[in-house]
Amino acid sequence: MTRRTRSTNFLRPLYRLGWLVIWSTWLATLVLLIPTLMPHDDVVGWGFVTLAATGVAYLLHRLWDWYVVGRPLPRR
């Protein structure tokens, strides 16, 4: 038995809005928040905070996928 695809996907705008909010917040954090909070000569700290912000944004994106679209989270 094959599943028919939906003719309209009413969740697509909601998914795209969530994606836009998550990654816009990530970019604003990198451009505006981190430079005001971190010392300018701490390169290792900047790298760590950038990786942490990217990891949090990616996790939120995956959770948004799971919540809106229903894609399961990868299990490794």
Q: Which of 39, 21, 40, 41 is nearest to 29 (CA)?
A: 21
Average pLDDT over residues 53-66: 91
Q: What is the pTM of this model?
A: 0.75
Domain boundaries, the chain: 19-69
Q: Check whether 32 has a pLDDT greater than 90.
A: yes
* Per-residue confidence (pLDDT) for residue 9, from 0 to 100: 65
* Per-residue confidence (pLDDT) for residue 60, from 0 to 100: 93
* Per-residue confidence (pLDDT) for residue 26, from 0 to 100: 95
Q: What is the pLDDT of residues 35-53, one digit of tens each?
A: 898 888 888 999 999 999 9
* Per-residue confidence (pLDDT) for residue 22, from 0 to 100: 95
